[in-house]
Chains A and B, each alone.
Chain A
Amino acid sequence: MRIAAIPAPARSPVPTAAIGLLFPLALLALWSVSARFGWLPPQILPSPAEVCSALLDLGRSGDLARNTAISLLRVVEGFAAGGLLGLLLGIAMGLSPRVEDYARPLFTAFAQVPTLGWIPFLMLLVGIGEPLKVLVIAKAAFVPVALNTLAGIRAVPPIYAEVGALFRFSRWQLLQKVVLPAAIAPIFTGLRYGLTHAWNALVAVELLASAEGLGYLLVWGRQMFWLDTMMGAMLIIGIVGFGLDRIMATVEARLQRWRLT
């Protein structure tokens, strides 16, 4: 193993991205060879071609688009509800120490129990229909959004508020013209975490109680012992999760730049 004294300069003629592809390609080759010679039974590891054709079948029959759309809709609904509540609570606690004193311990206790823990509780409360999914996803998004909003508002330099006071801003003006613009970047970081948590929660709730959605595709593949379908569904879950995070990261980078200038 070589030890990096100084980060290696890009002296290699091969671009980094190509080197990053070496390992997956080697793995893919080994996987294909293993499938060809039947080193592992297809019930344990289907061939890459089978995974591809399972995905193509899902795509052609419209199952893939339908289930992805259902999952995305659930995440958007839950994230909107949870994110909004998180923003409201975070702003209220951030602006008023009194509200924080009253609400913080209960909020901490609520946040302490992982989303997975709340799912069976909510299943008994509201059944296993659509409200369950939205509630679980909303809970997952709510906690990081509230925490980051609170921290973001607290980090606004007090001198900003003093300048606002000089202008005789009302509370609403102070919030709208001073506090929120100054705290927008950390708040957005919270929203980004919230969306990641929401996506993970969606997979959890669809694995436990759902008859449609990407998580359900996994359950279905497992019940049928169709590993190719399962692996295809995993791939889509990864890609959609990555895509959602990329969108948020792009907006976040914009906001950071805007704040610095």
Chain B
Amino acid sequence: MRRSLRGAVLPVMALPAWEFASHSGLVDPRILPPLELVARTAFDQVVHEGLLRNLGASLLRDIAGFSLGSLIGILIGTSLGLSPLADRIFMPSFNGLRQIAILAWIPLISIWFGVGEAAKVVFIMAAALIPVVLNTYEGMRSASGQLVEVARTLTFTRWQLVTRLYLPSALPSIATGVHLALIYAWVASIGAEYFMTIGPGIGGLIIAGRERFQMDLVILGILILGVVGFLINRGASMIETRLLRWQKK
């Protein structure tokens, strides 16, 4: 068999088995709803229930938290990476705080920032911030000492040193951090919708599906989660290779 087709074997075998199990009553159809029901739910959700509005709400929150987190993360990472004093004062605290599993912050954040949109964005921001700080920090510190000597000889000002030398040499590392932040922010958006008040959003949709024991809705939500995550990851990879093309020579 052609190698590329082998990957399709398991899914193609599983789907009819699923259909059969569901229709024959072998498995409770409430646990394993027939595929056409999932498809109909998807259609209903898009046409009547405003699925796209839910998706939009999740993505908007995701983007807001991600942008804030990346921006602040780059600023913090740059300061910590360039100033040995700031590094020694703040880095141990940062490393200590990030040991706490990110979801464990949710109760505290929801008490401090209320249960509305602000708290969700703050949580997503915190999730995005961590990988950006760490990778920016590493990138800044990996700048070549020889280049710094050259820049010193050319009497670069501090500003020039940062914009012409440190930032460009940290860019690949920053890109890695931002890429990770995109993934973390998407997961955090779902987490925020699970644990804070139910509002519009894909996470809210899945929780509603669970509460109403509607497996079709839960499966639809999971599919959307996976597809959106996949697209975000793909998009980020493409932009990353594009932006860093100059690097590979």
Contacts from A to B (Cβ < 8 Å): 1-8, 16-17, 19-24, 27, 43-44, 98, 101-106, 109, 112-114, 116-118, 120-121, 123-125, 199-200, 203-204, 207-208, 215, 218-219, 221-222, 225, 227, 230-231, 233-235, 237-239, 241-242, 245
Contacts and interface: CB of A to CB of B under 8 A. Distances in A.
Interface of B: 3, 6-11, 31, 79, 82-86, 88-93, 96-97, 99-108, 110-112, 141, 145, 148-149, 152, 158, 161-162, 166, 186-187, 190-191, 194-195, 203, 206-207, 209-210, 213, 215, 218-219, 221-222, 225-226, 229-230
Contacts of A235: 100
Contacts, number: 162
Contact of A3 (B92, B96, B158): B158
A98 B3 CA distance: 8
Given A120-B218, A207-B106, A234-B100, A6 B145 contact: yes
Contact of B107 (A1, A112, A219): A219
B76 to A, nearest CB: 12
A242 B100 CA distance: 8
A124 B103 contact: no
- Dominant secondary structure at the A interface: helix
Contact of A113 (B31, B112, B226): B226
A19 to B, nearest CB: 4
A48 B105 CA distance: 18
Given A4-B84, A237-B100, A101 B226 contact: no
Name, among A125, A207, A241, the residue most crowded by chain B CB atoms within 10 Å (CB to CB): A207
B7 A102 contact: yes
Nearest to B2: A101
Contacts of B88: 16, 19-20
A61 to B, nearest CB: 21
B187 to A, nearest CB: 5
A207 B191 CA distance: 11
B110 A222 contact: yes
A98 B218 contact: no
Contact of A237 (B82, B83, B104): B104
Contacts of A120: 206-207, 209-210, 218, 221
B108 A230 contact: yes
Nearest to A109: B226
Contacts of A215: 104
Contacts of A238: 96-97, 99-101, 104
Nearest to A45: B112
Nearest to B89: A23
B194 A116 contact: yes
A2 B91 CA distance: 16
A101 B10 CA distance: 10
Contact of B100 (A17, A227, A241): A241
A121 B219 contact: yes
Contacts of A102: 6-7, 9-10
18 contacts: A3-B83, A3-B158, A3-B162, A6-B148, A19-B88, A20-B93, A24-B92, A27-B93, A112-B230, A117-B226, A121-B219, A123-B210, A200-B101, A230-B108, A233-B104, A234-B105, A238-B99, A239-B99
